[in-house]
């Protein structure tokens, strides 16, 4: 069963609220409440997915944030990996790190999205490699680029671990390699 679009909207709105309050000390209680709500939503979704189909799923809940950042007078494409793992109690800990470009020889200028060039190829390969390893990345990165990465708006977006898992499982079941 595919995730309900309402669930995606709720999680995206909660993620946006978390970003807006980042670094503002007066919003600490709000941030804790947002994290708890996100953890609860992710747990409910994970349980539903586990109970419905025992597909290959990534171990942690990851979210890839694609943004354009002003660096030295020009916009630079950046990708942050937000990993959510169990913290103390129901609150999930959040770790942000940059995504490693696994295809620097293909795209020396880094990641891109919104079309089907070398930057989107590097992004598709790197995300699949981080989530599933080199074998899946080698087999599916072109399809992932064409079906997912090429359709992300130029200003950026989010790619969830669940979307990646759905893509990998659907494509693998269809016999694409």
Three-state SS string over 38-82 comes to HHHHHHHHHHHHHHHCCCCCCCCEEEEEEEEEEECCEEEEEEEEE
List, for residues 104-131, the tens digit of each pLDDT value: 667 667 889 999 998 899 999 999 998 8
List, for residues 61-112, the tens digit of each pLDDT value: 788 889 887 777 777 788 888 876 655 444 444 555 567 777 766 766 788 9
- Terminal-to-terminal C-alpha distance of the chain: 23
Contacting residues for 143 by C-beta, under 8 A, at least 6 apart: 171, 176
Q: What is the pTM of this model?
A: 0.60
Q: How far is CA 107 from the centre of its chain?
A: 20
The CA-atom distances, in angstroms, between 140 and each of 56, 74, 134, 135 are 15, 32, 10, 9
Domain span at 59: 5-173
Read off the pLDDT of each residue in 28-56 and give the average, rounded to a whole number. Answer: 59
Residue 70, pLDDT score: 76
Residue 121, pLDDT score: 92
Domains in the chain, number? 1
């Amino acid at each position: 069963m595919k995730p309900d679009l309402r669930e995606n909207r709720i999680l995206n709105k909660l993620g946006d609220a978390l970003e807006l309050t980042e670094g503002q000390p007066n919003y600490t209680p709000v941030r804790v409440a947002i994290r708890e709500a996100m953890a609860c939503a992710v747990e409910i979704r994970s349980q539903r997915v586990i109970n419905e189909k025992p597909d290959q799923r990534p171990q942690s809940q990851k979210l890839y944030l694609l943004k354009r950042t002003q660096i030295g007078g020009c916009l630079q494409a950046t990708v942050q990996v937000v990993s959510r793992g169990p913290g103390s109690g129901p609150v999930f800990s959040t770790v942000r790190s940059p995504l490693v470009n696994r295809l620097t020889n293909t795209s020396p200028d880094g990641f891109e999205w919104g079309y089907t060039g070398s930057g989107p190829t590097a992004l598709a390969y790197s995300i699949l490699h981080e989530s599933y390893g080199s074998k899946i990345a080698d087999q599916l990165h072109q399809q992932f680029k064409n079906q997912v990465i090429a359709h992300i708006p130029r200003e950026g977006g989010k790619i969830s671990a669940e979307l990646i898992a759905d893509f990998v499982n659907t494509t693998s079941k269809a016999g694409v390699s």
